[in-house]
């Protein structure tokens, strides 16, 4: 491979996050340059963040040298993909491993986007302070410098799993329901923040028993104006009576008031009316961008939809995937149906794969997403909202005040899944794990080291850290309490998904 290697900074689409991340990005760049020089390479830097798709096209597409993306904070995938697709020069996504600066989250999302577009790439990461002192990192980097790719072990990756006859029967019964009535996703806007890997569209959805109806997010504003004040007041009374703790005005958030929550409930009721009007089975909500200057964040509404206990409930959840992510709404809806078929609670939860560390002899991931986690994770009681805390979403990203739907997820066995595009087809990853109860001091250290206002789940996903970092194709994950692993494998196969199992014991 060529001695000269180009480094670039994929960026957020917003200026301020890039400015805040700049010192960490510069530090990581210096570490990577030193590591490359130690291997006899000549790194050179494409100056400045690539913060818009056209910048990626104009600054990356003509470069013939091997490319390394320095992944140190959240960034939008098109700020890489739009400039590298159509070329075949070696491409590496190089990340820190930090909860405070979630480069690994950006790496996982961008990697999945590249995979969905058929663009070859490799990935590498380290949590070392001195990257050259991490022998595994240096060995992998040398492999990429020599061959243009990095190969990772696959012993925890398989394509089949033993499934009981009972699980097959349950899966076939659910599949028969889907065939009788195709699952309709109400899509509020499009995928958020460059997560193009999360949009499949009707050409792929309809092969597997799903379809979509798109509604512009502007409808939320229009329909919201028609919501009667009495409905909003009833909804506010409901969530307070059922146990939500609102942190209005705390931690300097003077603009986070009852009225801010009322506006979030207005949006909840407007979307509930839309779901009823279109007989939608589940929802994908764009959430960030678009309406951010105009409406409060949708976290609180999305958390309610994923809860049985909610205003004007029909006795069940309405699966809601934040960021309009079809890669999560599909497994969430299928898992919900399997849980109900087995007599288990139907709540399914949406999370980011944010960070993780060793604890008590196992690797535990911090799953932490700003929207879409239901109350059952925090209380294991379908009839209440106890354990739910609503904090103001950080004003840095959310100028219009509104609260989160947060809490600490309770321990228990889980099944997890994720759908994604590979080779033009839809795949489904399925795994098993356990939510862990951490000691209070450890929990607080990890939670405060990421984003304290967001819902927290500490989970052993049943695989080693490096298996996920090397092979997983998203920064999102769908999680359900209970064992529906065999049923989820069988149902995914029954509906035509290609299935991949991630497990220590395939």
Instruction: Dump pLDDT digits (tens) for 346-394.
Output: 999 999 999 999 999 999 999 999 878 999 999 999 999 999 999 999 9
Instruction: Dump pLDDT digits (tens) for 193-249.
Output: 899 999 999 999 999 999 999 999 999 999 999 999 999 999 999 999 999 999 999
**Shared domain check, 118 and 23:** yes
Residue 46: CATH number of its domain: 3.40.50.10940
Give the DSSP H or E segment for 415. strand 412-422
Instruction: Dump pLDDT digits (tens) for 85-113.
Output: 999 999 999 999 988 888 999 999 999 99
The pLDDT of residue 100 is 84
Q: Which of 95, 112, 147 finishes a domain?
A: 147
**Shared domain check, 378 and 431:** yes
Structure tokens, 244? 């939500």
Q: Which of 116, 147, 178 finishes a domain?
A: 147
**Shared domain check, 498 and 375:** yes
**Does residue 288 register a pLDDT over 80?**
no
**Is the pTM value of this prediction over 0.95?**
yes
Contact indicator for 198, 327 with CB cutoff of 8 Å:
yes
**Shared domain check, 330 and 429:** yes
Domain carrying residue 300: 165-502
Measure the CA–CA gap between 52 and 452, rounded to whole angstroms. Answer: 29
Contact indicator for 402, 253 with CB cutoff of 8 Å:
no
**Shared domain check, 248 and 216:** yes
| CA distances, 113 to each of 13, 195, 197, 267 (Å) | 16, 7, 5, 30
Q: 443-462 burial, b if ≥16 CB within 10 A, otherwise e? A: beebbeebbebbbbbbbbbb
* Residues in the chain, overall count: 506
Contact indicator for 306, 449 with CB cutoff of 8 Å:
no
Bridge partner list, 456: 408
**Shared domain check, 205 and 99:** no
**Does residue 506 register a pLDDT over 70?**
no
Structure tokens, 49? 């963040």
How many other C-beta atoms are found inside a 10 Å radius of the C-beta of residue 101? 23
Helices and strands: H and E segment counts in the chain: 16, 19
**Which residue is associated with the tokens 């986070």?**
256
The answer as to whether 51 is a domain residue is yes
Structure tokens, 78? 């098109």
**Shared domain check, 28 and 173:** no
Measure the CA–CA gap between 456 and 308, rounded to whole angstroms. Answer: 20
**Who contacts 203 (Cβ-Cβ below 8 Å, separation ≥6)?**
none
The answer as to whether 153 is a domain residue is no
Q: Which of 496, 493, 495, 494 is nearest to 160 (CA)?
A: 493
Average pLDDT estimate for 36-42: 98
Residue 304: CATH number of its domain: 3.20.14.10
Q: Kindly report the average pLDDT of the chain as a whole number.
A: 96
**Shared domain check, 313 and 202:** yes
The answer as to whether 367 is a domain residue is yes
Domains in the chain: how many in total? 2
Bridge partner list, 419: 428
**Shared domain check, 191 and 123:** no
Q: Which of 117, 147, 177 finishes a domain?
A: 147
**Who contacts 260 (Cβ-Cβ below 8 Å, separation ≥6)?**
248, 296, 392, 401, 402, 403
Measure the CA–CA gap between 29 and 34, rounded to whole angstroms. Answer: 9
**Shared domain check, 72 and 40:** yes
Instruction: Dump pLDDT digits (tens) for 317-354.
Output: 999 999 999 999 999 999 999 999 999 999 999 999 99
């Amino acid at each position: 491979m060529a001695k000269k290697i180009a480094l670039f900074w994929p960026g957020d689409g917003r200026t301020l996050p890039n400015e805040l991340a700049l010192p960490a990005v510069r530090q990581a760049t210096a570490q990577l340059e030193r590591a490359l020089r130690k291997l006899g390479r000549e790194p050179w830097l494409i100056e400045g963040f690539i913060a818009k798709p056209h910048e990626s096209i104009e600054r990356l597409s003509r470069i013939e040298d091997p490319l390394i993306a320095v992944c140190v904070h959240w960034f939008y995938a098109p700020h890489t993909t739009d400039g590298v697709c159509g070329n075949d020069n070696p491409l590496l996504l190089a990340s820190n491993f930090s909860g405070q600066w979630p480069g690994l989250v950006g790496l996982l999302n961008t990697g999945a986007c590249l995979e969905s577009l058929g663009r070859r790439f490799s990935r590498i990461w380290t949590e070392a302070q001195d990257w050259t002192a991490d022998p595994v990192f240096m060995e992998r980097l040398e492999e990429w410098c020599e061959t243009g790719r990095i190969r990772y072990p696959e012993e925890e990756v398989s394509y089949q799993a033993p499934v009981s006859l009972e699980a097959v029967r349950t899966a076939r019964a659910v599949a028969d329901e889907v065939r009788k009535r195709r699952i309709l996703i109400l899509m509020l806007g499009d995928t958020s923040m460059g997560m193009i890997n999360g949009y499949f569209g009707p050409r792929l959805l309809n092969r597997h028993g799903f379809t979509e109806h798109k509604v512009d997010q502007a409808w939320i504003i229009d329909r919201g104006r028609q919501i009667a004040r009495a409905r909003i007041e009833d909804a506010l009374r409901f969530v307070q009576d059922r146990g939500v703790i609102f942190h209005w005005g705390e931690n300097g958030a003077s603009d986070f008031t009852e009225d801010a929550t009322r506006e979030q409930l207005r949006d909840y009721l407007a979307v509930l009316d839309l779901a009823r009007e279109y007989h939608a089975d589940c929802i994908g909500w764009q959430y960030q961008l678009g309406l951010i200057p105009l409406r409060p964040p949708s976290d609180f509404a999305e958390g309610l939809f994923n809860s049985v206990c909610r205003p004007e409930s029909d006795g069940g959840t309405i699966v809601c995937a934040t960021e309009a992510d079809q890669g999560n709404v599909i497994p969430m809806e299928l898992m919900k149906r399997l849980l109900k078929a087995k007599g288990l609670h139907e709540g399914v939860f949406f999370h980011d794969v944010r960070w993780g560390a060793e604890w008590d002899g196992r690797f535990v991931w911090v799953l932490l997403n700003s929207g879409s986690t239901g109350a059952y994770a925090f209380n294991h009681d379908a009839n209440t909202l106890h354990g739910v805390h609503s904090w103001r979403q950080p004003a840095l990203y959310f100028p219009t005040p509104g609260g989160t739907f947060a809490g600490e997820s309770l321990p228990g066995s889980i099944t997890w899944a994720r759908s994604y595009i590979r080779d033009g087809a839809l795949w489904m990853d399925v795994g098993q794990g356990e939510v862990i109860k951490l000691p209070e001091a450890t929990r607080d250290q990890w939670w405060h080291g990421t984003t304290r206002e967001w819902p927290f789940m500490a989970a052993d996903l049943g695989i080693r850290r490096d298996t996920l970092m090397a092979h997983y194709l998203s920064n999102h994950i769908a999680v359900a309490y209970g064992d529906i692993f065999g049923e989820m494998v069988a149902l995914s196969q029954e509906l035509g998904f290609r299935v991949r199992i991630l497990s220590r014991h395939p």
